[in-house]
Amino acid sequence: MKLVILILYFAILIAIGLYCRKNATDVNGFVLGGRSVGPWLTAFAYGTSYFSAVVFVGYAGQFGWKYGIAATWAGIGNAIIGSLLAWVILGRRTRIMTQHLNSATMPQFFGERFGSKSLKIGASVIIFIFLIPYTASLYNGLSRLFGMAFSIDYSVCIIIMAILTAIYVIAGGYMATAINDFIQGIIMLIGIVAVIAAVLNSKGGFIAALNGLASISDETVSSTPGVFASFFGPDPLNLMFVVILTSLGTWGLPQMVQKFYAIKDEASISKGTIISTVFALVVAGGCYFLGGFGRLFSDQIDIAANGYDSVVPTMLSNLSPGMIALVVILVLSASMSTLSSLVITSSSTLTIDFLKDNFIKDMEEKKQVLFIRAFVVVFIAISAVLALVQYKVGVTFIAQMMGVSWGALAGAFLAPFMYSLYSKKVTTASCWVCFIGSSVVMILNIVARSSFPAIMQSPINLGAITMIAGIILVPVISIFTPKPDKELVEDSFACYNKKSLVAQKTALSDEEEDIA
């Protein structure tokens, strides 16, 4: 039954990819779906790119074990800050200005917005460096689940996932990814609700499970009785950093922000905001809520020997075969949707922002699409090879880089991008400070972690700090550095002043019209 479900799932993904070939004939169609993607597809594409196997298996297990039921705050933060506020603050302005500047990628946006070719190249280099280890890490969460469900080698899982993702992304581009994300999102919604119900039922229901969690103590963590079932858990400060990184971080991740480029119209933004928020609340809130009960299975888990990635698979190991099949499809969906989003971002950035005009002058449209497709294969192959190397050789560097990459990307782009949509005073120098500062600090965290203050040794805490620092530094540095070209800035912001005729249900007219 598990194999039949998997084969059917894979067949649907490939069929959608082939169906969407007609929408991927030019750069705008391949990378942005022709900027005609409706609210449901955009919202689900945003959500499924947000939450991968890293969240379901890695973060849910790790933070649930550390903070207990209070880890649910991370999911609530993901919904309110990472989804609702991101759509409200960034959605409309991103869609309007990126279309006005004719930019399909984040580096291209910086290049056009500031009239800086070097800023465009710098942003593309940062994306290239930090998205690859992030992409490789997506395979990690699948290893234990596939071993538990099918008793097959993890290498087979990596290869199958890589090939199938490559097929439907290369064939149908962003539109195929968006439609598949919608299907994968529905699976994630149904799956997380069913899994939570099954796991809690195995422990006597919600109240019994909560009481069981309250009776667990760990003197190495906290001496407070019932701390793992408390409102803020044993370590509210570090939990706050988790919420900031995993929620606010999405505002600066290229693969997330790019979803706003493709929104169809005003109504799609309003509906997409609600849909995306509800999706995040169920999926992210559900994942962290589930992980919060991990210590109920402490008699079966050896964190020292198997790490936090063993927590969630152990919680699921005694479920029925049908439920395990659903879990595998859930995690596979989460990983493949995020993988497809990342490789489109990486390949389009490398082609449009790095090769085009810098190395291959006047690259025509068809050749750009061809290069993007070729780089999709390259990026998926590299990520698969890195995942295989980590699995076979046990290299921990790649796993460390995943946490570092999120912090580096968000720290580099969040503040410059957000302020550039709202303020005419942002300078090129302030962007460079965030680009270089965040990247260097996060890399140093890998090679010299022990030299950092205790609170900054965690990549999660440091990533959150770099984001907050950028929000403070960009306006301050912009005061003291050379001002941007006034004509260039006015042209960029002219898009917000364009007149649009809309229906009266959207905006009331100042003049009364004679209705015949």
Distances (CA, A) of 242 to 77, 78, 313, 407: 9, 10, 22, 11
Q: Helix 254-261 vs helix 397-422: angle between axes, to the nearest 10 degrees? A: 40
Mean pLDDT of the chain: 85
Amino acid of residue 76: I
**Residue 504 host element (H or E):** none
27 touches 365 (CB < 8 A)? yes
Rounded to the nearest angstrom, the gap between the alpha carbon of residue 403 and the centroid of all alpha carbons in its chain is: 12
End-to-end CA distance of the chain: 64
Q: Does domain 2-7+37-493 have CATH number 3.30.70.260?
A: no
**Position with higher pLDDT, 392 vs 259:** 259
pLDDT reported for residue 363: 82
Angle at 13 between CA 11 and CA 9, to 5 degrees: 55
Convert the pLDDT of each residue in 294-312 to its tens digit: 899 888 888 877 777 788 8
Is residue 151 scored above 80 in pLDDT? no
* Segments in 203-306 forming alpha helices (H): 206-214, 236-248, 254-261, 266-291, 303-306
Predicted confidence band of residue 7 (pLDDT cuts 50, 70, 90): confident
Give SS3 for 152.
Answer: coil
Give SS3 for 458.
Answer: coil
Highest mean pLDDT among 52-66, 169-183, 304-318: 169-183
**Cα 370 to Cα 42: distance, rounded to the nearest angstrom:** 25
Highest mean pLDDT among 270-279, 333-342, 496-505: 270-279
Is residue 395 scored above 60 in pLDDT? no
Phi and psi, residue 360, nearest 5°:
-120, 100
Predicted confidence band of residue 26 (pLDDT cuts 50, 70, 90): confident
Structure tokens at 156: 């087979």
- Range from 370-379, 390-399, 455-464 carrying the lowest mean pLDDT: 390-399
Give SS3 for 331.
Answer: helix
- Range from 215-229, 410-424, 447-461 carrying the lowest mean pLDDT: 215-229
144 touches 317 (CB < 8 A)? no
Among 168, 161, 212, 150, smallest CA distance to 383 is for 161
The pLDDT of 282-301, averaged and rounded, is 90
The pLDDT of 182-186, averaged and rounded, is 88
Predicted confidence band of residue 514 (pLDDT cuts 50, 70, 90): very low
Phi/psi region, residue 253 (left: phi>0; alpha: psi -120 to 50; beta: rest), is beta
pLDDT reported for residue 55: 82
**Cα 203 to Cα 315: distance, rounded to the nearest angstrom:** 11
**Position with higher pLDDT, 153 vs 394:** 153
**Cα 73 to Cα 78: distance, rounded to the nearest angstrom:** 8
Predicted confidence band of residue 148 (pLDDT cuts 50, 70, 90): low
Percentage of residues of the chain with pLDDT beyond 70: 92
Q: b/e per residue, 73-105, with b = 16+ CB within 10 A?
A: bbbbbbbbbbbbbbbeebbbbbbbbbbbbebbb
Among 22, 24, 376, smallest CA distance to 167 is for 376
